Chain A
Amino acid sequence: EPEVTQTPSHQVTQMGQEVILRCVPISNHLYFYWYRQILGQKVEFLVSFYNNEISEKSEIFDDQFSVERPDGSNFTLKIRSTKLEDSAMYFCASGRTVYYNEQFFGPGTRLTVL
């Protein structure tokens, strides 16, 4: 069964460094999402992406965040200058069509900012 994959599973970085989190969505899916979950808290939406552009972003998704789909298979989230409060689990999700509406989640990347 196809699944969303994410790499790395755990990333440790120093405050101020740039990180890139990678996701490979399910191959025939058209809608892509990033969510984050700070430990012990609920899952929060960051951004959605469709047709090579951002379709929606939350208040969390400020100028230090960016997304791209560089090669038609990968979907990346870049954090330009990490802060301590960026430490969280980051989930990628993909959906086939908006009408089918189910989002399939990857296993997550745990980001630790020191």
Chain B
Amino acid sequence: AQTVTQSQPEMSVQEAETVTLSCTYDTSESNYYLFWYKQPPSRQMILVIRQEAYKQQNATENRFSVNFQKAAKSFSLKISDSQLGDTAMYFCAFMKHETSGSRLTFGEGTQLTVNP
């Protein structure tokens, strides 16, 4: 079974600064995907960024980037130029590659607050 661990229950950052959220995971799979989802107060789950395990290059999406360390089973999210709208709960998630549809396994979440 896969596990995902987010060791930072809460973090805060000043507007326009950079923050990094940590995530580690445990799996015996060699082919899998990793995701960061954002959950604002509305509780809607919004995909922020994803990474395929077979790709060495770290994914980036505008102000969001990841540091994927496959050997260390680490997948951190960096948010640059933080904005007030980034305030949300952030969940790291793992999905193994299967042909019949695969579950997302989520971490416990990190509540990020961006301060003006």
Q: Do A and B come from one complex?
A: yes
Chain A interface residues toward B at CB < 8 A: 31, 33, 35, 37, 41-45, 48-50, 55-56, 58, 89, 91, 93, 95, 98, 101-105, 107-108
Query: Which one of B56-64, B65-73, B102-110 contacts A?
Result: B102-110
Q: Which 5 A-B pairs have the closest CB atoms?
A: A105-B45, A45-B103, A31-B101, A55-B100, A43-B106
Binding site secondary structure of chain B: loop
* 9 A-B residue pairs with CB within 8 Å: A42-B107, A42-B109, A43-B93, A45-B105, A56-B102, A93-B45, A93-B104, A105-B46, A107-B44
Which applies to chain A's interface (DSSP): helix, strand, loop or mixed?
Answer: strand
Q: Which of A43, A50, A95, A103 contacts B91 (CB 8 A)?
A: A43
Q: Is B42 an interface residue (CB 8 A)?
A: yes
Expressed in whole angstroms, the Cα–Cα distance for A36 and B21 within the complex equals 23
Contact with A along B15-38 (1 / 0, CB 8 A): 000000000000000000100010
CB of B33 within 8 A of CB of A42, answer no
